[in-house]
Structure 1
Amino acid sequence: MKVHILHTGRVYIDRALAYKEKSLHPFPYTGWLRGKNKKIWVPVSSYLIEHPKGLILIDTGWHENMRNHQQKHLGKLAYSMFKGDLPAGDSIAEQLNHLGLKSKDLDIVLLTHLHSDHVSGLEHVKDAKKILTSAIEWNAAHKKIGYIQSMWHDIAIDTFPFSSIPFGPTNQGIDLFGDHSIYLVHTPGHSDGMISILVKIGNKWLVLASDVGYSQQSWEHMILPGITTNKKAAYQSLKWIKNFSERQDCIRVIANHDPNILPAIIEERD
C-alpha cells in the first residue's frame, strides 16, 4: 500500500472560511468587505492510493481552466469569494502523466464531497473505470446552494449508500473492498454526505480527513470550518477526528487544506 499526497493547486480564501469565527460581519467566510490581512493561501490536495486491488484517486483538485478562464469556470458568485492558483505541472492530469499514468488507468476516483475545489478537475479523469461519491452528497449537490454542477456535467458518477461500519461519528460508511483495508467514513457537517478515508498501512491507520477540519489546529482546538450544513454534526465529526488522531494505531491525520502538509509518499516500511 502506498499513498501519494499531491497538491493540485491552491486556493485564496478568507481565514473565516477555514476557521469559523465570531464576527459582526454576517458572512465573514465570503471575504466580502474584509481586508487582505484576513486572507490566506491554502493547498488543494488530492491523493493517489496504490492498492493491491487497484489505483484509487481521492478528489481531483483544480481544472486547468483555472489558469486562463477562472471566473467562467467558477461562476461570478464563487469567484467573488475565493480565487485559485494552478501552477504548471500541478493539475491532476499533469501529475498522473508525470507518474506514467493516464486517467483510464485509475480504477476508482473517490469524491469526498462535491465542492468545487474537490471536483473541479473531474474532466481530467473522466475516463477512470469508476467515479464514486456518496448518495447523500449527490442528492445534496442537486438541491442545495454551494455547488457548481457544471463541473460534473456529462460525467458518469456512481453513488453508494452508507451501511454500518466500526468507525466514524455515525458508524456509517462502507468497507470499500470488503477486506478492512480502506473505509469510507461518513463525516457530515461541512457538507451532508462528506466522507473521510481510512487507509490501513501495515497495522496502522492513515486518515484523509477531507474538510472535516482545514488543518491540524482545527481538531486540536476544535475549530469548525466556516461553512457547515449542520453545526452539531460538524462538531461530532471533528471530535471523532480528534479522538482518532490520539489512537496508538493512527499514523497521521491529514486535512485537505493544511499548509503544513507537503507533497509526499506514505507507505509501509520494512
Structure 2
Amino acid sequence: MPDISAATAKLTVLHTGTVIIDEALPYHRDSDRPLAWTHLGRSRRHLIEAPVSCYLLEGPHGLILIDTGWNARNRTRAGQIANLRTQYPVNKAVLPVGAAVHEQLEERGIRPRDLDLVLLSHLHCDHADGLSHVKEAPRILVSSPEWEAGNTDRLRYLRHEWDGVDVGTFSWNTQVGPFGAGFDVFGDGSLVMVAVPGHARGLCATIVRTGAVAETDRDRWVDGVDAPGVPDPRHFLLLTSDAGYGRPSFEEGLRPGVVVDAAQAKRSLDWVRAAGDDPRCLGLLANHDPEVLPGTRALD
C-alpha cells in the first residue's frame, strides 16, 4: 500500500498569459490540409487564443512547479520576434504585466529559490520559455529523451531558452502510461511523470495523487495508471500537458496537429482519455484548455 500521507495538499493553476494559434495546431482533423497548423494561407477565423498554464504543487515534498510559461521578453513585439524567432508566425504570445511565472510566485511570497523542484512536461517554447525566471530553483528536471530532442532539433525547439540554466534530466523508473514508462518523482506514487510521446519525443503527463482513497471497483481501474503490482487506491488529477488540449481532444479524440509521431500521439491521447474515465480520476487538466480556470484546488 502506498504512503497515503505523501500526497499533494494543494494544486494551483497559474495562467501565464495566452497563445494565439491556428485551431489545427491543438486539434488535428483528417480534413486538414498538410501543415494547416502553421496558419499559412488560412483566414483569421481559424485563429484561437488559449491559456498557457503552469502548476504550483504544495505538500509534504515542498513546493513544486510544473512548466514555466512565457518569458517577459514577449511583452513587446520586437522582443517577441527576437525571442520566438522562426516560431513567432506560428504561435504568438500574449503576456500581461504580472502574469509571468516569477511575478505570480512573488505575488504569493515565493521566490524562485524557495521552490524545491521545477519539472518540465517538455521543452516547447510555451512551456520552457520562462526557465530563466526560475533558474535559481535548486533542481530543474526534464525527461532524458526530451532533453536530447531539445538540444538536437532546431526546428521545434529554441535552445537559448535554457542558456545559463542548470537543467538536469530524469530517466524512467516505473512502468506506467501507454508505453510503460514513467518517472515516480519521490518513489511513493504521489507525483508521477508519465511518458506520453507523439507531440514531442519526451512529452510527459503528470499524475498528481491526493490523500483521499477512492472506494471503487478495481475492475474499472485503467491499465497504466498504477505501476505493475502496486495498486494505488488514491484519487488523482491527470495533468495532460499537450497530449490533449481540451474538450475536443477528450470527447472527439482529436490529437495535436504538431507531432513528431502521429501514431504515438494518438496512442498517448487514447490512454489519457481512458485514464479520465478511471473512477479514481478527479479530472483531466490540459495545459491550454480555456475551461480549466486559474486558482487553487485542495487535494486532501
TM-score between both structures, scaled by the size of structure 2: 0.87
Instruction: Identify the residue that residue 21 of structure 1 maps to in structure 2.
Output: 29
Q: What is the aligned partner in structure 2 of residue 223 from structure 1?
A: 254
Confirm whether residue 238 of structure 1 aligns to residue 269 of structure 2.
yes
Compute the displacement of 1:257 (Å).
Answer: 0.3
Q: What amino acid sits opposite 2:255 in the alignment?
A: L
Q: Which runs of 5+ in 2 are unaligned?
A: 1-8, 212-233
CA offsets 1:54-100 (integer angstroms, 9 cap, x no match):
1110000101101021100101x211112110011110011001110
Show the counterpart of 2:121. 112
Residues 2 and 50 of structure 1 are in contact (CA less than 8 Å); yes or no, is this contact kept in structure 2? yes
1:216–1:254 contact (8 Å) kept in structure 2: no
* 2:26 alignment partner AA: A
Map residues 1-270 of structure 1 onto 2, 5 A cutoff.
1-23=9-31, 25-68=33-76, 69-75=79-85, 77-144=86-153, 145-165=155-175, 167-202=176-211, 203-269=234-300
Percentage identity across paired residues of the two chains: 40
**1:128-164 CA-partner distances (Å, limit 9, x unpaired):** 0100000000011122221000100111100011133
Counterpart-to-counterpart distance in 2, 1:231 and 1:49: 31
Q: Where in structure 1 are there 5+ consecutive unaligned residues?
A: none
- Provide the residue aligned with 2:230 in structure 1: none
Q: Cα deviations across residues 215-242 of structure 1 (Å, max 9, x unaligned)?
A: 1320221100011111111111101111
The secondary structure found in structure 2 opposite 1:223 is coil
Deviations along 1:189-230, whole A, 9 cap, x unmatched? 100101111011123001101000111320221100011111
Q: 1:24 to 1:177 in 2, by over 3 A?
A: closer
Q: Indicate conservation of the 8 Å contact 1:16/1:28, yes or no.
A: yes
Q: Give secondary structure in 2 for the equivalent of 1:16.
A: coil
Q: Give the Cα–Cα distance (whole angstroms) in 2 for the partners of residues 190 and 169 of structure 1.
A: 14
Question: Using the alignment, how far apart are the partners of 1:164 and 1:57 within structure 2?
Answer: 21
Cα deviation digits, residues 172-197 of structure 1 (max 9, x gap): 11111011111111111100101111
Q: Is the 8 A contact 1:216 1:255 kept in 2?
A: no
Distance 1:268 1:93 in 2: 24
Check conservation: 2:241, 2:287, Cα contact below 8 A. yes
TM-score normalised by length of structure 1: 0.96
Tell me, in whole angstroms, the C-alpha distance in 2 between the residues paired with 1:217 and 1:82: 20
Helix, strand or coil for the counterpart of 1:47? strand
2: CA distance, partners of 1:211 / 1:240: 13
1:268 to partner: Cα distance: 2.7
TM-superposed CA distance for 1:24, in Å, is 6.6
Q: What SS class does the counterpart of residue 259 from structure 2 fall into?
A: coil
Distance in structure 1 (CA, Å) of the matches to 2:48 and 2:20: 6
The amino acid that maps onto 1:219 is: F
Instruction: Give the total of aligned pairs.
Output: 267
**Distance in 2, Cα, partners of 1:104 & 1:163:** 27
